[in-house]
Amino acid sequence: MHSLLADLVLVLHFAYVLFVLGGFALIWAGYFFGWGWVRSLRFRILHLAAIGFVALESWIGAICPLTLWEDLLRREATQASFMQRWVHRLLFYDLPEWVFTLGYSGFLLLVAATFFLLPPRPRQLR
Protein backbone atom coordinates (compact mmCIF):
# COMPACT_ATOMS: atom_id res chain seq x y z
CA MET A 1 0.00 0.00 0.00
CA HIS A 2 2.82 2.43 0.86
CA SER A 3 4.42 1.75 -2.50
CA LEU A 4 1.17 2.65 -4.29
CA LEU A 5 0.84 5.88 -2.31
CA ALA A 6 4.48 6.71 -3.01
CA ASP A 7 3.86 6.12 -6.72
CA LEU A 8 0.85 8.47 -6.58
CA VAL A 9 3.00 11.17 -4.96
CA LEU A 10 5.63 10.60 -7.65
CA VAL A 11 3.02 11.00 -10.41
CA LEU A 12 1.80 14.20 -8.72
CA HIS A 13 5.40 15.44 -8.64
CA PHE A 14 5.80 14.63 -12.34
CA ALA A 15 2.53 16.45 -13.13
CA TYR A 16 3.82 19.51 -11.25
CA VAL A 17 6.99 19.53 -13.34
CA LEU A 18 4.93 19.10 -16.52
CA PHE A 19 2.74 22.04 -15.50
CA VAL A 20 5.77 24.28 -14.96
CA LEU A 21 7.63 23.30 -18.13
CA GLY A 22 4.63 22.60 -20.32
CA GLY A 23 2.80 25.70 -19.12
CA PHE A 24 5.69 27.87 -20.27
CA ALA A 25 5.71 26.24 -23.71
CA LEU A 26 1.92 26.56 -23.96
CA ILE A 27 2.01 30.26 -23.08
CA TRP A 28 4.34 30.98 -25.99
CA ALA A 29 2.55 28.61 -28.37
CA GLY A 30 -0.74 30.20 -27.35
CA TYR A 31 0.61 33.63 -28.16
CA PHE A 32 1.51 32.56 -31.71
CA PHE A 33 -1.64 30.49 -32.29
CA GLY A 34 -4.04 32.94 -30.64
CA TRP A 35 -5.15 30.72 -27.76
CA GLY A 36 -6.87 33.09 -25.37
CA TRP A 37 -6.85 30.77 -22.36
CA VAL A 38 -3.05 31.06 -21.97
CA ARG A 39 -3.56 34.74 -21.19
CA SER A 40 -5.82 33.89 -18.23
CA LEU A 41 -4.70 35.82 -15.14
CA ARG A 42 -5.42 32.85 -12.84
CA PHE A 43 -3.44 30.43 -14.99
CA ARG A 44 -0.50 32.81 -15.31
CA ILE A 45 -0.34 33.63 -11.59
CA LEU A 46 -0.55 29.94 -10.70
CA HIS A 47 2.20 29.15 -13.21
CA LEU A 48 4.48 31.92 -11.93
CA ALA A 49 3.83 30.86 -8.33
CA ALA A 50 4.62 27.22 -9.16
CA ILE A 51 8.13 27.97 -10.44
CA GLY A 52 8.58 30.65 -7.77
CA PHE A 53 7.95 28.05 -5.08
CA VAL A 54 10.54 25.71 -6.61
CA ALA A 55 13.13 28.48 -6.87
CA LEU A 56 12.46 29.60 -3.29
CA GLU A 57 12.93 26.04 -2.02
CA SER A 58 16.26 25.91 -3.81
CA TRP A 59 17.42 29.31 -2.52
CA ILE A 60 16.76 28.38 1.11
CA GLY A 61 18.08 24.82 0.73
CA ALA A 62 14.74 23.15 1.46
CA ILE A 63 13.85 19.74 0.14
CA CYS A 64 10.68 19.54 -1.94
CA PRO A 65 7.74 18.41 0.21
CA LEU A 66 6.67 15.93 -2.48
CA THR A 67 10.14 14.35 -2.46
CA LEU A 68 10.08 14.11 1.34
CA TRP A 69 6.61 12.58 1.32
CA GLU A 70 7.53 10.03 -1.32
CA ASP A 71 10.74 9.09 0.51
CA LEU A 72 8.81 8.61 3.74
CA LEU A 73 6.31 6.33 2.02
CA ARG A 74 9.04 4.37 0.23
CA ARG A 75 10.71 3.42 3.52
CA GLU A 76 7.88 0.95 4.01
CA ALA A 77 8.03 -0.43 0.45
CA THR A 78 10.02 -3.59 -0.19
CA GLN A 79 10.94 -3.14 -3.85
CA ALA A 80 10.98 -0.46 -6.51
CA SER A 81 7.93 -0.26 -8.72
CA PHE A 82 7.91 0.27 -12.46
CA MET A 83 6.68 3.82 -11.84
CA GLN A 84 9.47 4.57 -9.40
CA ARG A 85 12.21 3.30 -11.70
CA TRP A 86 11.10 5.16 -14.83
CA VAL A 87 9.68 8.41 -13.49
CA HIS A 88 12.64 8.81 -11.13
CA ARG A 89 14.93 8.64 -14.16
CA LEU A 90 13.03 11.56 -15.70
CA LEU A 91 12.76 13.70 -12.57
CA PHE A 92 15.92 13.25 -10.54
CA TYR A 93 19.53 13.88 -11.51
CA ASP A 94 22.76 13.59 -9.56
CA LEU A 95 24.21 17.08 -9.97
CA PRO A 96 25.54 19.66 -7.51
CA GLU A 97 22.83 21.67 -5.76
CA TRP A 98 24.04 24.96 -7.26
CA VAL A 99 23.21 23.66 -10.76
CA PHE A 100 19.57 23.24 -9.77
CA THR A 101 19.44 26.60 -8.01
CA LEU A 102 20.86 28.30 -11.09
CA GLY A 103 18.47 26.45 -13.41
CA TYR A 104 15.38 27.13 -11.31
CA SER A 105 16.34 30.78 -10.88
CA GLY A 106 16.95 31.22 -14.60
CA PHE A 107 13.65 29.58 -15.45
CA LEU A 108 11.85 31.78 -12.92
CA LEU A 109 13.33 34.82 -14.64
CA LEU A 110 12.12 33.53 -18.03
CA VAL A 111 8.60 32.95 -16.69
CA ALA A 112 8.57 36.38 -15.01
CA ALA A 113 9.80 38.06 -18.20
CA THR A 114 7.10 36.23 -20.16
CA PHE A 115 4.53 37.51 -17.67
CA PHE A 116 5.46 41.04 -18.75
CA LEU A 117 6.21 40.37 -22.44
CA LEU A 118 2.94 38.47 -22.95
CA PRO A 119 0.83 39.88 -20.12
CA PRO A 120 -2.26 38.07 -18.91
CA ARG A 121 -5.58 39.61 -19.71
CA PRO A 122 -8.29 40.14 -17.13
CA ARG A 123 -11.45 38.18 -17.67
CA GLN A 124 -13.93 39.98 -19.90
CA LEU A 125 -17.36 40.50 -18.38
CA ARG A 126 -20.22 40.01 -20.81
Distance CA 28, CA 37 (A): 12
**Residues sharing a CB contact under 8 Å with residue 70, sequence separation 6 or more, in sequence order:** 6, 9, 10, 13
Whether residue 59 is predicted with pLDDT greater than 60 in this model: the reply is yes
**Residues in the chain, overall count:** 126
Q: What percent of the chain has pLDDT over 70?
A: 83
Task: Delimit the domains of the chain by residue range.
Answer: 2-117
Q: What percent of the chain has pLDDT over 90?
A: 56
Is the pLDDT higher at 78 or at 19? 19
pLDDT tens figures, 8-47:
988 899 999 999 999 999 999 999 999 999 999 999 999 9
Note the pLDDT of residue 110. 97
Is the pLDDT higher at 32 or at 2? 32
